[in-house]
């Protein structure tokens, strides 16, 4: 009996732990710059030590978590300078993956991508950011599979996670409500181009999407409190000599208004 498209293959607890922790990292439930122990991540994920430990190793290898034997686990802060530097790399790999998918997608791959189009269009008015991110992660996996180049995933998936987290921060703290509809429309347009089999147009559209991501990074830099990008900055003691100056203990050298 043929398997339905909606069915998912059996997954290990380690895979489940990775997906749960990655989702919490993207939504900043695991705050950028915060420290956690394995036990705390077990409690947050609801899974045991071994699968959580395996997931942390994967996250660490992808530079999403920094492991220190003495200081525990540090969630990687949002590094906008790094993301701007890496954006051309992601652009080329995304363009390659989508272009190959447009040429190599099997009939099964095409059915999967058509299902994504149907579901995205049907749920456009009710799709929230958390559900969209889950769909986006699954969609990225489907496109990578259709590309027929599994080695691309080693570099592309960690990059997608980094930018998805920054995108979350942008949509929560900066964007207008219409930005979600625009994002869904772009993904539907990309899928239709992949299904058309036109590699040149597909890759051109991917590069256009990546240009908009550059604008997202700039908006986050300009409008988001840096302590949201790295919670350690909230403890930074900045003295300007103005707001912290006691009103009754002015320096004798200061002029007194008359």
Which range among 41-45, 226-230, 247-251 shows the weakest confidence by mean pLDDT? 247-251
Which pLDDT belongs to residue 96? 97
18 plus 47 within the same structural domain:
yes
Nearest to 24 by CA among 68, 56, 48: 56
Alpha-carbon span 122 to 60, nearest angstrom:
37
* pLDDT confidence band for 174 (50 / 70 / 90): very high
On the question of pLDDT at 248 being above 90, the answer is no
Residue 26 in domain: yes
DSSP class of residue 36 equals: E
Beta-bridged to residue 66, according to DSSP, are 74
On the question of pLDDT at 144 being above 80, the answer is yes
Residue 231 in domain: no
Going by C-beta distance under 8 Å and a sequence separation of 6 or more, which residues neighbour residue 212? Answer: 186
Alpha-carbon span 24 to 41, nearest angstrom:
10
pLDDT digits (tens, 9 = 90+) for 81-115: 999 999 999 999 999 999 999 999 999 999 999 99
Residue 256 in domain: no
Token output for 232: 């350690």
CATH number at residue 127: 1.20.120.530
* pLDDT confidence band for 256 (50 / 70 / 90): very low
Cβ atoms of 189 and 204 within 8 Å: the answer is no
On the question of pLDDT at 181 being above 50, the answer is yes
Token output for 108: 């099964």
- % of residues, the chain, pLDDT over 90: 75
Which pLDDT belongs to residue 237? 83
69 plus 86 within the same structural domain:
no
104 plus 71 within the same structural domain:
no
Last residue of a domain, which of 58, 75, 92?
75
Residue 198 in domain: yes
Mean pLDDT calculated for residue range 139-143: 96
25 plus 104 within the same structural domain:
no
88 plus 215 within the same structural domain:
yes
Token output for 210: 């990546």
139 plus 47 within the same structural domain:
no
On the question of pLDDT at 172 being above 70, the answer is yes
What pTM did the predictor assign? 0.84
Give the range of the structural domain holding residue 22, as residue numbers without chain letter. 13-75
61 plus 141 within the same structural domain:
no
* pLDDT confidence band for 257 (50 / 70 / 90): very low
Which helix H or strand E contains 72, and what residues bound it?
Answer: strand 72-75
Average pLDDT, the chain: 88
* pLDDT confidence band for 177 (50 / 70 / 90): low
196 plus 217 within the same structural domain:
yes
CATH number at residue 57: 1.10.10.10
pLDDT digits (tens, 9 = 90+) for 111-124: 999 999 999 999 87
How many structural domains does the chain have? 2
Last residue of a domain, which of 35, 55, 75?
75
**How many helices, marked H, and strands, marked E, lie in the chain?**
10, 3
193 plus 131 within the same structural domain:
yes
The three state secondary structure string of 159-213 is HHHHHHHHHHHHHHHCCCCHHHHHHHHHHHHHHHHHHHCCHHHHHHHHHHHHHHH
On the question of pLDDT at 158 being above 90, the answer is yes
69 plus 91 within the same structural domain:
no
């Amino acid at each position: 009996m043929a398997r339905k498209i909606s069915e998912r293959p059996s997954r290990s607890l380690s895979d489940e732990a990775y997906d749960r922790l990655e989702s919490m990292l993207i939504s900043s439930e695991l705050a950028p710059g915060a420290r956690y122990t394995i036990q705390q991540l077990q409690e947050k994920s609801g899974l045991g030590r071994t699968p959580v430990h395996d997931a942390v190793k994967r996250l660490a290898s992808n530079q999403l978590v920094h492991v220190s034997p003495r200081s525990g686990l540090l969630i990687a802060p949002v590094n906008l300078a790094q993301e701007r530097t890496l954006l051309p790399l992601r652009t080329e790999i995304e363009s390659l993956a989508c272009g190959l998918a447009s040429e190599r997608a099997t009939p099964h791959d095409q059915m999967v991508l058509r299902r994504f189009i149907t579901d995205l269009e049907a749920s456009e008015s009710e799709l929230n950011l958390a559900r969209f991110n889950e769909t986006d992660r699954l969609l990225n996996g489907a496109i990578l599979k259709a590309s027929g180049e599994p080695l691309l995933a080693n570099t592309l998936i960690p990059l997608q996670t980094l930018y998805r987290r920054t995108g979350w921060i942008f949509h929560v703290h900066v964007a207008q409500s219409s930005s979600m509809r625009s994002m869904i429309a772009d993904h539907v347009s990309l899928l239709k181009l992949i299904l058309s089999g036109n590699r040149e147009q597909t890759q051109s559209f991917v590069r256009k999407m990546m240009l908009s991501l550059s604008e997202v990074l700039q908006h986050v830099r300009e409008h988001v409190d840096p302590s949201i990008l790295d919670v350690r900055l909230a403890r930074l003691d900045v003295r300007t000599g103005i707001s912290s100056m006691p009103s009754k203990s002015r320096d004798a050298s200061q002029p007194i208004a008359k």
